[in-house]
Structure 1
């Protein structure tokens, strides 16, 4: 997908000495998947656009995660690839024939695995930046030619550190000020306005891609009940697929009448709903990162992944971790949800209260605390 960029000028424009045309550098960002990780990488595009307003910025991504890249105001072109493209030499060579004529000056491999590094290599760019050390895996250290060892663990922070060789220094401390600028869908916002609550509300997202990330559904329901009885907040439970719909029904049944199921929602509709939410309670999954990016105060629940790596980014959000699941990524993915079950209702409720109190001034018309 290509869009026609408007002429960009800025009093703070910088020249890129590493580019063929320093006033108009050409840069490719590579982040193939997943949806949440793609959202967490969008500050890289925003930072590049701020620094080099005249740049041509493209992003290579797989189809499933393309939704929040296509139409992003910082991106000039989105290159969408099918899942599994990299296992076919024919597909890799076809991609090289497609990308090489685009004459990129630099690539930023934010994923730093074989498939993302292959896409960067296919451009023929003279400067291909990727991760060194624990975050640079598979063949990426051999396919990229400028390696950066991130100092900070969070995915967004370490992605921003890859901009160092382009003259964009990241902050020394974690959770710097970033922009997300996710594209909005007026049609989706109109659809959500037809059924979203008129009064302040919370959103509960019980689903996750790993079973080891799941919290107990009755506990979600108890938090929804407390939000209603003690804070006057009704909850909307979002879901995708039959299994998650069944979970959402369990949450609603456990909420004392304070939670209701959302209708089936697309990703743009979910973004529209979250823009209005007073709070999101979720495990570590794409909707949690989407909520942060659109400005919804967020509480994330963690057990098989670590919030230092992928928690809700920065203030005013909060992550709850009681026990981290032992083992490597594959073992943690295949584990049961024992680590998540260590999180009590009181643990989640306390985090929700802190985030609600921390953000009260942002929602002056939301109900105040009620007598318990």
Structure 2
């Protein structure tokens, strides 16, 4: 790849959606740092994704879109001008942000051709259609770097090299006290806030019981609303699990993931976080396009997934349900887990 010939060095990556989407966007920051000498990389995101971006060594500063929306339009424009942004990359198209970038006089404004408002707010258009593309989500993001010198979409193995989630704070002692030091810890994240097809609580309960019997400490994670949904299931399985649902903020949860042996979950933010942190991460996916792992597989040196080898078009018609993902067996999941680097720590 050729480095960009631009003299400008300050880039703003704009992605104001969910955690998993942000994780799969952050390799762009690594590419910019490696291929554009002296690059300064800013990230525009939402409040709840700030702890995720803070883990990435390649991002120099975070701009909080939620806080910016409280400002007047002249104040927003001044804020962007003060950052001396030379190039904005609209990874997640947003009309208000696109207009703001133009009004702030950002010299290069990169966005896709298939958003009508980009026709009058963006001056560097990229042909990109996500819906029917064979590429992974992270690779699709890289298409937006073509105006900056990217000559080809990198393979997933190369994308992983641009990840660097090394800025992780230590887990607070109050949460360390919950961990059994004589056992490896595994996190099970059974819910998805409706963003993904789920394996089911019956499967996760059986997996927890078998992992506990093998010598694992099984940690259950989830948000505060998910804790309320899981109350009965948590009571039924309390002998086999350590309940972390609704207890940790996102920074603490990231720190917990980092000290654990691995994580199992659906295609959600926690799965992508674990993979990017270099922790073994096993995703359970439906064979439905574009939800399948070809588009949303976790990225990391120890990331893996399970999906049934079939085309699940019938399940597409039933929102929130997928018979095919539930055909993944507990034995299949255990077989994957038992190949993890730290599985040898388990006593027979």
**Same fold (TM > 0.5):** yes
Corresponding position of 2:326: 344
Corresponding position of 1:100: 81
Matched, 1:354 2:297: no
Matched, 1:41 2:25: yes
Equivalent of 1:159 in 141, 150, 154:
141
Matched, 1:294 2:281: no
Contact kept in structure 1, 2:275 and 2:302, CA below 8 Å: no
Equivalent of 2:227 in 226, 244, 251:
244
CA-CA distance at 1:126 after TM superposition: 2.3
Matched, 1:209 2:209: no
Contact kept in structure 2, 1:99 and 1:123, CA below 8 Å: yes
Corresponding position of 2:125: 147
Matched residues, number: 333
- Which one is further off, 342-351 or 296-305? 342-351
Give the structure-2-normalised TM-score. 0.81
Contact kept in structure 1, 2:192 and 2:268, CA below 8 Å: yes
SS in 2 for 1:221: helix
CA-CA distance at 1:212 after TM superposition: 5.8
Q: What CA deviation, in whole Å up to 9, does each residue of 1:126-156 have, x standing for no partner?
A: 2212234xxx546345432223335653222
Matched, 1:18 2:14: no
CA-CA distance at 1:106 after TM superposition: 1.4
RMSD: 3.2
Listed as ranges, the gaps of 5+ residues in structure 1 are: 1-13, 328-334
Equivalent of 1:223 in 201, 207, 218:
207
Give the structure-1-normalised TM-score. 0.77
Contact kept in structure 1, 2:197 and 2:266, CA below 8 Å: yes
**1:1-372 to 2 correspondences below 5 Å:** 16-20=4-8, 25-70=9-54, 72-82=56-66, 85=69, 91-132=72-113, 136-137=114-115, 139-140=117-118, 142-150=120-128, 153-176=135-158, 177-182=160-165, 184-186=167-169, 188-198=171-181, 199-210=183-194, 213-229=197-213, 231-247=214-230, 250-251=233-234, 253-254=236-237, 257-262=239-244, 264-303=247-286, 305-313=291-299, 316-322=302-308, 323=312, 325-326=315-316, 336-339=319-322, 341-344=323-326, 346-347=328-329, 349-357=331-339, 359-360=340-341, 363=342, 365-367=344-346
Listed as ranges, the gaps of 5+ residues in structure 2 are: none
Change (3 A) 1:145 1:102: same
